[in-house]
Amino acid sequence: EHAAAATLQRSLLPAVPTVAGLQVAARYLVGMDGNQVGGDWYDVLNLPDGAVGVAVGDVVGHDLRAAAAMGQLRAVLRSYAWDGGPPGSVLDRCDQLVQGLEMAAMATAVYARMEPPDERGERLVRYANAGHPTPLLLAPDGKLCRLDEHHSPMIGAVPRLGRRDGPGRTEAAVRCRPGSLLVFYTDGLTDIAGADPD
């Protein structure tokens, strides 16, 4: 099962696309404890309206079920992002489907929509975060900004969140100047950073 889950997980992670005007890179490393499976995923999308979608998430669990749920959630988020919806709405719709179809117990995710560059080359980045580690933005002048506004509960955690008759996720926005570095990551990175060096 372990080998099957590891194969499934790697097969569901995307090749990083070429994005005009951006340098995009992704890295997936096996956990330090030897656990090669789980629900961690990422995606980068060239959207039809010229924007770029970036998503990172983590389905709860470290088994074949988590790897399969990760693939489903990634596909669902891609389809909602493709429609051009705002990040909060995209995560709300994912939440509704996860709960309605019981795709996964719970998951964290952050979704950002990078608008096409303006006349100065700056991009407006709108983002929403459902319980995921905070993305970071490093400006060309070295100023570090934590994209931690409008943090909301994990997908699948609050039954009425995102429903038509309940409150929805909100989004925040930040401007990225040319030469900025935008970093998305999962809790695996923070686990490594907090590990005992011995």
pLDDT in tens, 115-173: 999 999 999 999 999 999 999 999 999 999 999 998 899 998 887 776 666 668 889 99
pLDDT at 176 over 70: yes
The top-scoring range by mean pLDDT among 9-13, 24-28, 139-143, 163-167 is 139-143
Per-residue pLDDT band for 27 (boundaries 50, 70, 90) equals confident
β-bridge mates for residue 79, sequence order: none
pLDDT confidence of residue 198:
44
- Average pLDDT over the chain, rounded to whole? 84
pLDDT at 3 over 90: no
- Mention every residue, 6+ apart, whose C-beta is less than 8 A from residue 198: none
Calculate mean pLDDT across residues 40-52: 94
Q: How far is residue 94's CA from residue 100's CA, in Å, rounded to a whole number?
A: 10
132 and 110 Cβ atoms separated by less than 8 Å:
yes
Predicted confidence (pLDDT) per residue in 67-81, tens digit: 778 888 899 999 999
pLDDT confidence of residue 40:
86
Calculate mean pLDDT across residues 38-64: 89
The model's pTM: 0.87
58 and 187 Cβ atoms separated by less than 8 Å:
yes
Q: How far is residue 91's CA from residue 111's CA, in Å, rounded to a whole number?
A: 7
pLDDT confidence of residue 131:
94
pLDDT confidence of residue 25:
92
